[in-house]
Amino acid sequence: QGPYFQPAFDRLARGGRHLVFGAASMTPPGKSPNWLRLAWQWLFRPSVDPLDIIAKNRSVMGFNLIWMWDKEDEMSGMLEEMMSGVDWRPPHVGKTFPFDSAPEAMSYFQSGASTGKVVLLV
């Protein structure tokens, strides 16, 4: 959720929708989790009052692709709808690694220093 959820949610207009994709801020950097930091993040994560959502006619929708891996037909339809009529550009590739350097690529990705996509060349 990071520092952006609450300010963005607080600024929603009536009828506004706030979409949350994954939870990268809860993913620990490095090879092992910092349990104290993770507990702190969990305890102080943003919360939304359901009655407030109803009163202000807002919505929060969560979406995590990791749980959709086996829903190929459903995802295909969503992708087609999303791609239609939009001039999509390719994502920014921040760094590439040869396939043999997959462990180094993962370490770089987990370090939090990456910007853009980290790509393995096959």
pLDDT at 13 over 70: yes
Mean pLDDT across the chain: 84
Q: Please write the tens of the pLDDT for every residue from 15-44.
A: 999 888 777 666 767 777 788 888 887 887
Per-residue confidence band for 83, with pLDDT thresholds at 50, 70 and 90: confident
Tokens coding 77: 């339809």
Model-wide pTM > 0.75: no
Q: How high is the pLDDT of residue 95?
A: 96
pLDDT of residue 79: 83
| Mean pLDDT confidence for 52-68 | 84
